[in-house]
């Protein structure tokens, strides 16, 4: 392990589920680590005692695993820089605070929340703008401090920030970023409750964990100058920073629940597969370049990933495109992968192959499922659509498109044709044993010719009669998969 090895992290706070914004941040860090043969660390930022929950931590880990983003160091895995939950690192933060105290870069602030609110209100009443902490406790006398302490008044520690000059850094994504120091107020670094604030814990951890790059959402930009000042106060060399653009909803407002799914697990339940989610997220705010297929596996993404290609402007989340990427991944999967996806779906619905159907060349459930997949071909493009596409293969009590049914079967002539087709099939197919698609086709086309009809005049009614739908896979193959007994029964039922 050399000093040059890239070390990056994803540091979620466990106050909810893994949402797309977090997933994208995690993904980019992960892609960077993997593409650089570096290390990806997962750290749980749970210093907020009120809001952090174990269920949330679990949900986030689940989301990460589902996406296939594995971490080299983290809670549950360990590593040389642990522990990986901030709540277990209190001693480390306290030591760091001691260092800050010794250097005189922090001071005690005895202001209560009410004090702060009152002063802020006063400023506003006077027609001004409260621009953050006013430095009230910055130069308390020894006596005052002693008095407050004697009272047992809780105190927080604030960082003394410079009033002049500027703090800047060269952002990996947008280039130079600069903030005037006078807009950076003396922020609390250690809360009165004995916990470090986010900005302090982050700096201590990123340094102690050897992070070389910090890639995070653009909503963290304004934290960066403060963090830089903390690095400086601690005498530490800061990592490189990169701020990635926000993900917006279709209406260009910050992406939220009202736009639709936002948690990774919600997408999963809507039939989005992880490779598609990863692929789409990677495309959002990043580009593989001028041309080429956008449908990429996670390995291809690793191979092509470059921080230089990360965009600087916010991008709107496009559910349609995600759906498209999803369908492309689904279609490109090999038969075994599709089977692994389909089998559980069939189980969920309680759909089992029945030998009485007499389907040519099929003996059991798996064989039947494999044949259905072949039959679906390019229609295997949506996990959500699958049940609707397959229901009629497993039960006679399947959904029926009422409109299509009435339009078709409402016609006396059509019903006669359906009956004629049933008669022909009964007559011409071997009385027992399975019939192939070719067998069905021969009968249908033969009847059409004999009756002076177009094949479609028989095929379309048959489709409605057999599937209840006006659209389906190839009719003769559908017949084969249904098996002659059921084909006959459904044709008779429809013509009745």
Partner RNA sequence: GUCCCCUUGGUCUAGUGGUUAGGACACCGCCCUUUCACGGCGGCAGCACGGGUUCGAGUCCCGUAGGGGACGCCA
Any idea which residues carry the catalytic annotation? Answer: 257
Report phi then psi at 438, rounded to 5: -65, -40
Name which of 203, 210, 214 is nearest 99 in CA terms.
Answer: 203
Q: What is the DSSP letter of 85?
A: B
Mode of pairing for the β-strands spanning 7-10 and 240-244: unpaired
Least distance between RNA and beta carbon 295 (Å)? 8
Return the number of the residue (17 or 110) whose C-beta is nearest RNA.
110
Least distance between RNA and beta carbon 1 (Å)? 27
CA-to-CA distance for 493 and 172, rounded, in angstroms?
68
Least distance between RNA and beta carbon 89 (Å)? 12
Torsion of CA 387, 390, 394, 395, to 10 degrees: 70
CA distances from 250 to 258, 272, 273, 322, 324 (A): 11, 19, 21, 13, 16
Are 67 and 274 a contacting pair, CB within 8 Å? yes
Are 38 and 213 a contacting pair, CB within 8 Å? no
Report phi then psi at 37, rounded to 5: 55, 40
Sheet holding 188-190, edge to edge: 106-109, 156-159, 188-190
Name which of 418, 369, 367 is nearest 394 in CA terms.
Answer: 369
Least distance between RNA and beta carbon 156 (Å)? 4
CA-to-CA distance for 345 and 227, rounded, in angstroms?
49
CA-to-CA distance for 44 and 391, rounded, in angstroms?
44
Least distance between RNA and beta carbon 226 (Å)? 9
Least distance between RNA and beta carbon 350 (Å)? 26
CA-to-CA distance for 120 and 127, rounded, in angstroms?
11
Return the number of the residue (366 or 457) whose C-beta is nearest RNA.
457
Return the number of the residue (318 or 423) whose C-beta is nearest RNA.
318
* Dmax (CA) of the chain: 112
Return the number of the residue (140 or 155) whose C-beta is nearest RNA.
155
Least distance between RNA and beta carbon 364 (Å)? 26
Q: Which residue has the tokens 């559980």?
A: 344
Return the number of the residue (110 or 368) whose C-beta is nearest RNA.
110
Instruction: Look at phi and psi of residue 180 and say left if phi exceeds 0, alpha if psi is from -120 to 50, else beta.
Output: beta
Return the number of the residue (221 or 489) whose C-beta is nearest RNA.
221
Tokens of 90: 């209190």
Which H or E run includes 108? Answer: strand 106-109
């Amino acid at each position: 392990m050399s000093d040059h090895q890239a070390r990056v992290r994803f540091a979620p706070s466990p106050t909810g589920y893994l949402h797309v914004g977090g997933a994208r941040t995690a993904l980019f860090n992960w892609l960077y680590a993997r593409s650089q043969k570096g290390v990806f660390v997962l750290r749980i930022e749970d210093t907020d005692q009120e809001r952090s929950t174990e269920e949330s931590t679990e949900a986030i880990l689940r989301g990460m695993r589902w996406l296939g983003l594995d971490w080299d160091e983290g809670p549950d895995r360990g590593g040389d820089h642990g522990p990986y939950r901030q709540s277990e690192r209190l001693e480390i933060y306290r030591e760091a605070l001691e260092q800050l105290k010794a250097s005189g870069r922090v001071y005690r602030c005895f202001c209560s929340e009410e004090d702060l609110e009152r002063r802020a209100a006063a400023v506003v009443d006077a027609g001004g703008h409260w621009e953050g902490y006013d430095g009230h406790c910055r130069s308390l006398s020894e006596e005052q401090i002693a008095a407050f302490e004697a009272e047992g008044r809780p105190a927080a520690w604030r960082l003394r920030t410079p009033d002049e000059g500027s703090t800047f850094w060269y952002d990996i994504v947008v280039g130079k970023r600069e903030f005037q120091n006078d807009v950076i107020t003396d922020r609390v670094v250690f809360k009165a409750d004995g916990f470090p604030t986010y900005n302090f814990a982050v700096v201590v951890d990123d340094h102690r964990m050897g992070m070389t790059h910090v890639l995070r959402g653009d909503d963290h930009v304004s934290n960066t100058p403060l963090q830089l000042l903390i690095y400086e106060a601690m005498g530490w060399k800061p990592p490189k920073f990169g701020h990635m653009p926000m993900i917006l909803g279709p209406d260009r407002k910050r992406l939220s629940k009202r736009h639709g799914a936002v948690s990774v697990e919600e997408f999963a339940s809507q039939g989005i597969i992880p490779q598609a989610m990863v692929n789409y997220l990677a495309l959002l705010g990043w580009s593989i370049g001028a041309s080429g297929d956008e449908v990429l596996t996670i390995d291809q993404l690793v191979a092509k990933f470059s921080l230089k290609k990360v965009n600087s402007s916010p991008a709107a989340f496009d559910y349609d495109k995600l759906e498209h990427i999803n369908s492309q991944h689904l279609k490109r999967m090999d038969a075994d992968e599709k089977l692994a996806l389909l089998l559980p779906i069939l189980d969920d619905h309680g759909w089992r192959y029945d030998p009485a159907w007499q389907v040519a060349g099929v003996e059991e459930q798996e064989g039947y499922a494999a044949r259905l997949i072949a039959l679906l071909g390019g229609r295997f493009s949506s996990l959500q659509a699958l049940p609707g596409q397959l229901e009629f293969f497993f039960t006679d009590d399947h959904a029926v498109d009422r409109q299509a049914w009435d339009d078709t079967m409402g016609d006396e002539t059509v019903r006669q044709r359906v009956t004629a087709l049933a008669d022909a099939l009964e007559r011409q197919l071997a009385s027992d044993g399975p019939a192939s698609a070719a067998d069905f086709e021969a009968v249908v086309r033969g009847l059409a010719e004999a009756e002076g009809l177009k094949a479609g005049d028989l095929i379309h009614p048959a489709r409605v009669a057999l599937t209840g739908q006006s659209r389906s896979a190839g009719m003769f193959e559908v017949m084969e998969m249904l098996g002659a007994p059921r084909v006959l029964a459904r044709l008779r039922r429809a013509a009745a």
